[in-house]
Structure 1
Amino acid sequence: MSPDYEPPPAETQAEAPHLPAPTHPMAVARALLPAWQAHGMPSLRYWRGQWMRWRGPHWDEEDSAAMRADLYPRLEHATYTATDRNGQERTAEWAPTSAKVANLMEALAAIVHLPGDVEPPTWLAAPDREGERRTIVACRNGLLDVTTRALHPLTPAYFNRVSVPFDYDPETPTPARWIGFLRSVWTDDPEAIDALQEWFGYVLSGRTDLHKMLLIVGPMRSGKGTIARTLTALVGKRNMSGPTMSSLATNFGLADLVGKSLAVVADARLPRQGTETIVERLLTITGEDAVTVDRKHKEPWSGRLPARFMLLSNELPAFRDSSGAIASRLLILTMTISNLGREDTSLDRDLSRELPGILNWALDGLDRLTRRGRLVEPASSAEAVALLNASTSPIRAFLADWCHLDPEASTPKDELYEMWRDWCRTEGRDHPGTKPTFSRDLFAAGLGIKESKIRIGGIRTPSYVGVRLDRPTPRPGWSG
């Protein structure tokens, strides 16, 4: 039940509706439907096995218990016209029972059914004004067209699950405290601040088309938590989920992400078990693929999860993904300054007063992102990006260090594998794996390398085509 739900007052006998008979639940549902309308549109929907109620700035889930609590008072004193055995009409009490209410709810669900392939945010009816098909940010005081910064009235015709919990104010002052905080975190690094600004705008826009996650790496008390709390305040706590890496690998680990705009992983260190499942799920969600989500005591939910992931860590996460796909999904920002022992206890309170200004700041970042079409990492993240690529896909790091990709080249399989083992020893990797796992990871890297038998010295030799060794100068202690 929504926290702002208030049951309708019980109908008095004088106000009680006269309805069709309980044996005609569809007719009863149509008679009651005006109670769930606003601006000429239904304010109640049944979508993907779940009741949805329009709350003004957004649509919210309504559980079946709340629906029953709504219906019983409406029906308590209702009447209908009954006909006795002699054909005489009389007024009878509707007398709601669990069976009657269940039948009525089923009929009502059929009337307000919304197809499961509808993906919020979207318009359920054609907008009246030109341009409303553009990106919308729902605020407490209206629907904001981020392109024109025009504010339009709230309407149930816009099916969205996320809204910012305050008013849009174009005249609000620049968030000086927020800007000062960011400049203290990234001194002389405006590129990092710009990247964060664009990320904030991306999250607020509801877009998922860039297929990106944000990873912020830095020491304790460096500002990671402040940034996460500020973004959470912008989207609203009800729209944020705080999963752990471990929970993402469990059966019900995705349940809390349904309908959430933001997922903040406060400690992005990976567990020893389940890393493959975690990587798979992160790729699926950020790639806008449909997932089936198991939910305790509820029917499974299927659809695309709109949550944008924000990972916070003191160190680079130890993802393992031979394809390199997970690394390509990450926008990395690094921090180097710790304020441990020098925390500003008034900062969060001050920033909460600047939220309308931070919203405008984020919208400016969204404008810049829209013009460019992609998120750009700052130069200060280059080293972290290289380290993550090497740790996430050692095969790719090996190919970059000791090989050269050339579609006309070939290398005997045994020779390339032995060089891989030497590279692993040089890099301190204790488990280079077997020849089959090396081949699997090599092909998973997606670099166009293929298997073939190449004639060498008159002998057909199993080889990898598309790669040749480019041996580096031997390091001390290396036996190549």
Structure 2
Amino acid sequence: IGDNDAGAGQSGMQKAFATIQLLTNNITMFQPPEGIKDLRDWRQRGLTQNALFEYAKIHGKVDQDPGIFSSDDPIEIGEKFLLEKFTIKGCPTLRKYKGQWVQWQGHAYKESPLDIVRGDVYKYLEGKKFLRTGPKGNVQIIPYKAGRGRVSDILDVLNMVCPIEQDPPIWLDDKDHPDPSKLIIFQNGILNIQEFMEGKITLHNPDPNLFAFHVFPYNYDENLKSELMESFLKDIFETDPERIRLLQQWYGYNIIPDMSRDTVMLFTGVPRSGKSTLLDTMGHMLGREQCVSIDF
């Protein structure tokens, strides 16, 4: 039981907790209610054994302050950093792929520069402390001073636990999942093309276990239509349903990650006949950051 004396009592309580924890895990720590200095003061105000145990049950802590590491071991600190800052439902969301850090952005993964990752580690270490056992067995709480060497050691630990060796799209866990090459990621969820073709239109929740980089920059809505686009296609293709269907098919091949459908389309026609407009439309459909031009 610590004292309410502007921080020193809490620090002393944590040191005592850490020392006793070396002997047993059956330990709880807490401080008296606000306005009561210590256990003696509390007892003089009428504290009973039953009231003490009830208070401990409600306010007691069985774990050390999360801002205090059990040691300065970079493996422990690196794993704790990953767990607290970059883990969702047991899945690490900061990974290393082909020498590049990538981070889950809520829908898909995106490259994260090394300087940003180092900065995240520095921010996490700010104000942290660690426990050190003295030569006489006493436990000390020491400020953890983050420096380039310590941060680099932690990043080396992350290199050990975060690597992805296969190319996307892949699932990172061992659970039963649909074929990732049949999945399309939108802002509002994941669409399974196989289910879609079977008439089952269901948006699945985004999942950090799906390692993929490509997400469309808009929501999926099966009820949306574009009368302007339909009118434009009828105009440039002279209401030829076969050419319209072919364009739809090609657009569809570009949407899915399945590269077995890789197809090159050659547009021919007089100037101002809609060729550039069709390509611009597809570029916006796929997302400008996910398209690139090629030269022949």
Tell me what 2:191 maps to. Answer: 144
Indicate whether 1:31 and 2:80 are aligned: yes
Indicate whether 1:80 and 2:130 are aligned: yes
- Deviation of 1:195 after TM superposition, in Å, equals 1.7
Give the SS at the match of 2:68. Answer: coil
Q: AA paired with 1:163? A: V
Indicate whether 1:122 and 2:174 are aligned: no
Question: In 2, distance between residues paired with 1:43 and 1:236?
Answer: 23
- Deviation of 1:18 after TM superposition, in Å, equals 1.5
Gaps of 5+ in 1: 1-14, 246-269, 271-480
Structure richer in helix, relative to its length: 2
- Deviation of 1:20 after TM superposition, in Å, equals 4.7
Q: 1:170 aligns with which of 208, 218, 222?
A: 222
Indicate whether 1:159 and 2:159 are aligned: no
- Deviation of 1:111 after TM superposition, in Å, equals 0.6
- Deviation of 1:107 after TM superposition, in Å, equals 0.7
Structure 2 length-normalised TM:
0.70
Question: In 2, distance between residues paired with 1:222 and 1:106?
Answer: 56
Question: In 1, distance between residues paired with 2:76 and 2:286?
Answer: 40
Q: CA separation of 1:82/1:219 partners in 2, compared to 1, >3 Å: closer, same or farther?
A: farther
Q: 1:210 aligns with which of 261, 276, 280?
A: 261
The Cα RMSD (Å) is 2.3
Identity %: 25
Indicate whether 1:232 and 2:283 are aligned: yes
Tell me what 2:33 maps to. Answer: none
Indicate whether 1:199 and 2:250 are aligned: yes
Tell me what 1:111 maps to. Answer: 161
How many residues were matched structurally?
227
Tell me what 1:102 maps to. Answer: 152
Question: In 2, distance between residues paired with 1:185 and 1:95?
Answer: 67
1:134·1:147 contact (CA, 8 Å) conserved in 2?
no
1:21·1:81 contact (CA, 8 Å) conserved in 2?
yes
Q: CA separation of 1:171/1:189 partners in 2, compared to 1, >3 Å: closer, same or farther?
A: closer
- Deviation of 1:126 after TM superposition, in Å, equals 4.3
Gaps of 5+ in 2: 1-64, 196-200
Tell me what 1:259 maps to. Answer: none
Structure 1 length-normalised TM:
0.44
Q: CA separation of 1:177/1:93 partners in 2, compared to 1, >3 Å: closer, same or farther?
A: same
Question: In 2, distance between residues paired with 1:160 and 1:83?
Answer: 45
Output one character per residue of 1:123-149: Cα deviation in whole Å (capped at 9) or x when no partner: 2224556x4656111011111012223
1:39·1:155 contact (CA, 8 Å) conserved in 2?
no
Question: In 2, distance between residues paired with 1:70 and 1:218?
Answer: 53
Structure richer in strand, relative to its length: 1
